[in-house]
Amino acid sequence: MTLSHQAWRAVLAAALAAVAAAGCTSIQVGDRELVRKATAPGLNTKAAVLQRLGSPGAMITLDDGRQQLVYGNSAVRGGGLVLSELGVTLFSINRANRRGDVVEFTCTPAGRVCGVRVAAQADKAEWSIWPFSP
């Protein structure tokens, strides 16, 4: 059986598309809408924060009696491909973008929110290339 030029081109395009798409990784832990919810108006009291965002990831009591409620999320997006034969890795290339948000509410002993801090970790790309190390 012989393939026409068009068929070969289609096969080549499909192979290239498969390599270009490679594998993909998507891992989401926690609420991805955290920052939007935390910065919306109306979170003036500790009770309102708990009602909207749920239990905090951490709850810290400061020496002066104020409390900090800390919320966070994390996400990894990436992709890569591994060329292997008979269980032996010949070549591997992976890239991962890691990001996470942290929102910290500070509340007075009476339960009023007196401070909000939002820290959004920028995308941090991580490359891993085998057998070379970048």
Partner 1 sequence: MRQWLVMMVLAGVAALGSGCAFHRTVANAHFKDIDPSFITVGKTTVYDVLDRLGPPAPVSELSENFRLISDTHLCYVCYESRRTTFALGYVLFLPFCWEDGQMTDELLIEFDRDSGVVSSVTRTRQATVRPPLQGESARAPRQTQNLTPGLRR
Q: Under the rule (CB under 8 A), what is the footprint of partner 1?
A: 18-19, 21-32, 47, 50-61, 65, 67, 70, 80-85
**CB neighbours of 2 closer than 8 A, spacing ≥ 6?**
none
Nearer to partner 1, 59 or 129 (CB): 59
The dihedral through the CA atoms of 31, 80, 120, 105 has a sign that is positive
Least spacing, CB of residue 51 vs partner 1, in Å = 5
Burial category of 107 from C-beta neighbours within 10 Å (exposed 0-12, middle 13-18, buried 19 and up): buried
Closest contact distance (angstroms) between CB of 81 and partner 1 is: 6
Residue with Cβ nearer partner 1 (60 or 125) = 60
Nearer to partner 1, 5 or 88 (CB): 88
Tally of residues, the chain:
134
- Cβ at position 121, least distance to partner 1 in Å: 18
In the complex, least distance from residue 126 CB atom to partner 1, rounded to whole angstroms: 15
Max Cα distance, the chain (Å): 83
Q: Which DSSP symbol is given to 112?
A: B
Q: Which is nearer to partner 1, 55 or 133 (CB)?
A: 55
Q: d(Cα 95, Cα 51) in Å, to the nearest integer?
A: 38
